[in-house]
Amino acid sequence: MSHDTTQQNRQRNHFAGHDAIWLFGYGSLIWKADFPYLERRPAHIHGWVRRFWQGSHDHRGTPEAPGRVVTLVREPGAVCHGMAYRITPEVLAPLDVREKNGYLREVITLGFDDDAGGHAEGLVYLAGADNAAYLGDAPLDAIAAQIAAAHGPSGPNRDYLLHLAEALRALEVEDEHVFALAARLPGERD
């Protein structure tokens, strides 16, 4: 099940004419910043939670046995912490390809968590419930079992989850959903 969003994202030039853009990372972008950036700052967004509800048929799973990766789900009053990167616009093209399986660029207001604080408008990649690779909610045990079993061209799905949990701990971010799933992986404990 694939839904290539690369072309759609190329049309989503929300910050056309800007020399630099803030990009909010809440998943693999936190621990896999394999792109050039001008600076990075811990940051948060309001009204969203991180959930392993998006299928991965191209990175952490296969079309026959998809894995699960994170997307954002609306939850009034919630705060989702991650990492913001200031990038030049050219950096988005390879990210559009890397995150092509259902993720669309959306504009979001982010708040910075460092001492300097402040806010900025930025971009986030979001996979909505209407995309073809969306899997949605399931019992935590079932999600963890799917992640434990899945493997794709980018490696085991469990590594994605464990890297994310480790990166969030390093940022001193509490994320019950992520930590509960990591604790359910065979060989892992809370």
Give the catalytic positions in this structure: 99
Q: How far is the CB of 85 from ligand BEZ (least distance, A)?
A: 9
Write the CA distances from 127 to 132, 167, 171, integer angstroms: 10, 21, 24
Quote the longest CA-to-CA distance of the chain.
49
**What is the crossing angle of helices 176-184 and 140-149, to 10°?**
60
Q: Of the two residues 123 and 148, which places its CB atom closer to ligand BEZ in the complex?
A: 123
Answer for which of 22, 48, 53, 103 binds ligand BEZ (CB under 6 A) is 103
Answer for which of 58, 99, 113, 175 binds ligand BEZ (CB under 6 A) is 99
Question: Of 86, 78, 56, 51, nearest to 68 (Cα)?
Answer: 56
Q: Of the two residues 96 and 187, which places its CB atom closer to ligand BEZ in the complex?
A: 96
Amino acid of residue 39: E
85 makes contact with ligand BEZ (CB under 6 A):
no
Write the CA distances from 98 to 32, 88, 171, integer angstroms: 12, 17, 24
Binding mask 24-63 for ligand BEZ (x = CB under 6 A): -xxxxxx---------------------------------
Q: Of the two residues 53 and 125, which places its CB atom closer to ligand BEZ in the complex?
A: 125
Binding site for ligand BEZ (CB under 6 A): 25-30, 70, 99, 103, 125
